[in-house]
Amino acid sequence: MKAHARAPVRTCVTCRRERPKAELIRFVRHADGIVGLDPTGTAPGRGAYVCREVACVDGAAKRLPGALRAPVDAERIRRELTDVGVA
């Protein structure tokens, strides 16, 4: 009999709480250095996760540059989050 697989768990870069990957929003630093939203959660590149809570989404622009080791365009992040109905 096979053991049940557990859902992958990731940590929010803002609040540092662990949550199932499906409950978080993933941002990715692409090969060209541009940081953007990864709605599928599968894009290649360095990724960082943020909770869907207002405080975490608001703090994402401050925490993502360190987590992704790249500059982040805060306006672009807000726009992308608004486009997917999060912010």
**pLDDT greater than 80 at residue 4:** no
Strands 9-11 and 18-20: antiparallel
Q: How confident is the model at residue 1 (pLDDT cuts 50, 70, 90)?
A: low
**pLDDT greater than 90 at residue 85:** no
How high is the pLDDT of residue 37?
94
The neighbouring-strand residues paired with 25 are 50
CA–CA gap between residue 56 and residue 42 (Å, rounded)? 21
DSSP 39: T
Helix segments in 1-87, DSSP class H = 54-68, 74-83
Q: What is the pLDDT of residues 39-76, one digit of tens each?
A: 999 999 999 999 999 999 889 989 999 999 999 999 98
Domains of the chain are 9-83 (3.30.1230.10)
Max CA pair span of the chain: 50
Q: What is the pLDDT of residues 8-43, one digit of tens each?
A: 999 999 999 999 999 999 999 999 999 999 999 999
Q: Rounded to two decimals, what is the model's pTM?
A: 0.88
Task: Tell me the average pLDDT of the chain.
Answer: 91
